[in-house]
A and B are shown apart, each in its own frame.
Chain A
Amino acid sequence: MKFSPRTFRAEWDLHAWSGVIASLFLFVMFFSGVFALFHEELHAWQDPRSRGEPTAALAPVDFEALFAWVKAHGEPAVGSHVGVYAEADSHLAYGWMSDEKTGAEENWAWNRVTGETVPEITRVADELYYLHFFHRVPGGLEFSGVLGVLLLVATVTGVVIHLKDLKRQFWQFRSEMRARYSGSDAHKVLGIFGLPFVIVLGWSGVLLCLSTIVGGAFTWAAYDGKPEKIEELRSGGVPARFPSGQPAPAFSANELARRAQRAAEADELPVTLNVSGFGDEVSTVYAHFDRHGFEPERGVVLDGRTGEVLRSESKSEPVPGAAFERLLFDLHFAHFGGVFTKFVYAALAFAFCAVVVTGNIIWLERRDRERARLGNRILERLTLGVCAGLCVATATYFLANRLLPLDLNARGSVEFGVFLAVWAVAAVIPFFLWKGARQTTRGYAWVAAAFYLLVIVVDFAVESVHLGSFFTRALSKHESEALVFELVIAILGLGSAAVALAQRRSTSPSSSSRSLSSVLPPASA
């Protein structure tokens, strides 16, 4: 199919502009998305204190005790949200509380056997997960949604402008040619291979990020400003329940868990009990079970005061749209196929990171090969500093996780501070010490490779005392997950080394070796 020159030009411009505007943010989203994907594994890896404990003799989860531990940290306000999470084969249990009125938010971890609070020593898994949708930045979630739309626009327009020669572009990779052509080939081949992945991730990501805003608009434009109507339609007819402000005694948490198990016809107890309207006369409990890929949701909604089952997903009529949403979200979170799928997703995510970087290379090489314009010189250095800098900063984050003393005050924040500081420094270095794109990339890639591989060396040195037992007994789920993440780090290290080696064979950079003085306007200007 061939379009008119005007249509082609309009779609080409849209592709280029939407891509270049979103490029660096999308790189961050997809790179950190790998760690969001391996969140469970990273969670198991980040805290060595939880390894090596036998799990066979663990008692069934006592939800009553979990809520008592929440109250031991301070009685939550009537009407607040309180939740607890515990897996049958883990020593750790988690609790959280949020109060919309005061904005207070807290969360805790406990040792399920001793009941002792486990002090937080690290937040690596959570911070990298939050980075995936810029959670730490005000409005970051909504911003991520808009980036998702730009990603979809760049993808659709990319397909449109290459429809005429899609078959040829699918296989063509001229690695021996200069950046404009080799980068362009890599951009198209990886882009086409990753097309279904990007569309599914983009669409589901936008739904996840913008559901609050779109829901708010729908409330006014379609439901006369009554949010309870949407809630009722989405919950399959269960009337919306809002806390009344009147305190009332809560129903037994253990009995709630058992009723939820019966209602869901599940073999095991729920892993989460989430209470909306805690200690209130109108209190609603949402019980969630462990899910495996494409299994139907087995959530149960109960009355927190009387224990009455209000709705069970497995017995009620499916809510329209829920099956489609579940499919999209299962695909987004890789809730199927186990660890193998996660590695496939990770490969596709790294391929997309390459699509982003090569997209910017094409922009620079086609529009301003000599980097005569200030904007393009800044784009080149930012692309390198932000993208390669993130790889180095993440490696440093893991290294800090292993090297900082366990009893360090506010250790989790110090680690995160190290990560942000290294990333910031790495992002600005290309503005001061510019030795051409390839040489600078090679430097960053070698540092990242060295740091990732050093993490593994430190890990095995620190954990050498456990190594013997690793080979003589079955690993717990927690330990297996930690080892899987060790493999992720090894892949990152080897991948970074491969990038560094790939830069060696290339010829001198197309752009000149300009330093800061050439990036910033002259002082007299």
Chain B
Amino acid sequence: MKWVVSLGAPLAAVGLGAGIARYAPLDGAVALAWGQHLVVPLWVTLMCVLPLQKSVARAWLVCLGCATPGLVGLAQGVLG
């Protein structure tokens, strides 16, 4: 569980924040502001919530779910 809390939480928070900045149906600067400023609260919330999951696998799944928008954005950027 310690790995998912220490590594999964920040990656998921940044992924979700980047996803908001990229896909939120808002003006570009507003979306960036929301995405950037939500990273810290998301990170802290995930660190507090992940240990409550019933299993480590489920905790990783939560992280993956949060990070998906960022990962999709990253793939789009890399693949052009």
A277 → B minimal CB distance (Å): 24
Q: Tell me the dominant secondary structure on chain B's binding face.
A: helix
Residues of B within 8 A of A224 (CB): 76-77
Tell me the complex Cα distance, A218–B19, Å.
9
CB-defined contacts of A149 to chain B, threshold 8 Å: 10, 40, 43-44, 47
Q: Give the residues from 187 to 225 in chain A that come closer than 8 angstroms, CB to CB, to chain B.
A: 203, 206-207, 214-215, 217-218, 220-225
A14 close to B (CB within 8 Å): yes
B51–A222 CB distance below 8 A: no
Contact-residue bracket for chain B: 35 or more
Instruction: Out of B33, B51, B77, name the residue touching A321 (CB < 8 Å).
Output: B33
CB-nearest residue of chain B to A148: B40
Q: Are A217 and B14 in contact (CB under 8 A)?
A: yes
Does B17 lie at the interface of the complex (its beta carbon under 8 Å from any beta carbon of A)? yes
Is A73 located at the chain interface by the 8 A CB criterion?
A: no
Task: Verify B48–A157 contact, CB threshold 8 A.
Answer: yes
User: What is the CA–CA distance of A11 and B45 in the complex, to the nearest angstrom?
Assistant: 12
CA gap between A234 and B33 in the complex, in Å = 9
Whether A320 lies near B44 (C-beta < 8 A) is no
Q: Which residues of B are found within 8 Å of A321, using beta-carbon distances?
A: 29-30, 32-34, 36-37
Which residues of A, 154-184, contact B by the 8 Å Cβ criterion? 156-157, 160
Contact B39 A160 (CB under 8 A): no
Q: CB < 8 Å: which of A11, A225, A233 contacts B32?
A: A233
Is B28 part of the contact surface with A, judged by Cβ < 8 Å?
yes
What residue of chain B has the Cβ atom nearest to residue A15's Cβ?
B48
Q: Could you tell me the distance in whole angstroms from the C-beta of A64 to the nearest C-beta in chain B?
A: 36
Q: Which residues of chain A come closer than 8 Å to B37, judged between CB atoms? A: 207, 321, 324-325
Q: Which residues of A contact B36 (CB under 8 A)?
A: 214-215, 218, 321
Alpha-carbon separation in the docked complex, A520 to B63 (Å) = 41
Q: Per a CB cutoff under 8 Å, which of A10, A156, A214 touches B17?
A: A214
Contacts of B19 in A (CB 8 A): 221-222
Given contacts A221-B73, A320-B29, A321-B32, 9 further A-B contacts (CB under 8 A): A14-B5, A156-B45, A218-B36, A222-B18, A223-B77, A320-B30, A320-B33, A321-B29, A325-B37
